[in-house]
Chain A
Amino acid sequence: MENKTHRNRKLADYIYNDLDRDSVAEIEREISSDPELSESYLLNLQVKEYLQAKLQLEEMRSDPMLEDAEKLADMAFDTEIPEQSKHASVPVNRNWRRIRQLTFAITLAASVALLISLLRPFNVDQDRLYDRYYAPLEASDFSQRGSSNEQFSAVARGINLYLDGEYAQSILEFNTISSDPAIRAEVEFFSALSYMGLKQYQDAQSLFESLLLEENRYQLETLWYASLAYLKTGESARALSLLQQLEQYDGFYQKGAQRLGRKLVRIQ
């Protein structure tokens, strides 16, 4: 206990730059060779950096001259952007002391992350990625297009049931609709989404695969949700392949596909 307290005080001296060179070298050696101390150091650093930012932010928020600053800010947004300003670079750098600590911290964090990743089962990572990225589709403009006949009305009802989270009802509604090429994409896509909502990922995958056989208006959404369905069932190679296809398209899903793809590669 006493040792731990002594060690914490030494860590405090280190992170507040209050140690001489020899002591710095000594504690850095200890941190590098002791995983528990490494973890503790990273937490100490995180706390310090958070508090620095928080105190500065509170000072800005309570500055009596804030009103003046806001008037000046309004002026900045009232003017056009000069070309030179648009291209002004904002370089990344830090003073040497912060660089030194930061480099050390990053190296250490990378080692800890590697250790954790080696210890963590693969499917747990995939589940966490899925939970992070999956969200039901929350809106559709289908009802604006058609309620002109019974088929379209049924599709609209099915979509609305999906949007309301009534996944089983939605599938039942879609099952009543006879095959019609004009609405096939809607029926298959929203049925697949409903299966995902019910956690029946393989049923969803079959429908998504059918949709991917030819171009349709839900192409990008299909690639996205299909990749998630494969992620969830542990078929990461197929998930990755779909994400790579999605990356080729500009648009809403591109950035997400790039990030999820990178993360998937990293945990494979």
Chain B
Amino acid sequence: MELHTDQDIIDSIRRREDVAFKYLQVTFQDSIRLMVMEMGGSMEDAKDVFSEGLIALIRLVDQEDFKLTCKLGTLVYALCKKTWKQHLEKQVAVRNYHVRKLDGDTETDFTEEADLQLYSEIFWESFQQLDKSCRDILEAYLKEIPPREIAEKLGYSYAYVRKRKSLCHSYLMKMIEGHPTYIRIKQTELSLDLR
């Protein structure tokens, strides 16, 4: 079954169809993870927040008087943000008794979340430094808009859009790899490996 609109997905959630949950996961999990991490959470927290956010969504769409008055993605965001805020309130309550550094652990072994945060900042900063036409083309690609549609929307030829996308992406990578913070992180990792 294909889900074309937000209402299709809502209906599918009401019928408890796997396809709806798969769609939500593929479409929104990464951005929710980013939101949680930007708000001080760990990857593990983000997984919990996303699952709890989806449970809240099920609870909401099951209400008889529920009517979707915004984009589904924005609703998922609002639900997960609220879930995370509640989680933070509970954490604060626990910390009033005992504070220890155990939370924030992840399954990513030696990939420190602090480094991930730095990488994220470098990626975003570099992307924003691209010229507008590069940003527009890459943004459209990143949103998985078909190249012909991008060409039509931006007033370029199909071939130009495809070629420009590759060029812009390689400019972006060059900026990232030349970023002073990126170089510093890499040098630190190297010195750790060689120590």
Contact = CB atoms under 8 A, between A and B. Distances in A.
- Are A and B subunits of one complex? yes
Interface of A: 5, 8-10, 12-13, 15-16, 18, 40, 43-44, 46-57, 59-61, 63, 65-66, 68-70, 72-77, 79, 81-82, 84-86, 88-95, 98, 113, 116, 119-121, 124-125, 128, 132-135, 137-139, 141, 252-253, 255-256, 259, 263, 266
A125 B70 contact: no
Dominant secondary structure at the A interface: helix
Q: Assign chain B's interface to a size class.
A: 35 or more
Contacts of A66: 70, 74, 77-78
A66 B167 CA distance: 35
A113 to B, nearest CB: 8
A90 B21 contact: yes
Dominant secondary structure at the B interface: helix
Given A63-B74, A135-B101, A256-B105, A75 B60 contact: yes
Interface string B173-194: 1101100000000000000110
B28 A56 contact: yes
9 contacts: A8-B170, A13-B166, A57-B31, A60-B71, A85-B55, A88-B58, A90-B54, A93-B22, A128-B192
Contacts of B31: 52-54, 56-57, 60
Interface of B: 16, 18, 21-22, 24-26, 28, 30-31, 33-35, 38, 51, 54-60, 62-63, 66, 68-71, 73-75, 77-79, 81-82, 86, 97-102, 105, 107, 109-110, 112, 119-120, 123-124, 127, 138-139, 141-143, 147, 162, 165-167, 169-170, 172-174, 176-177, 192-193, 195
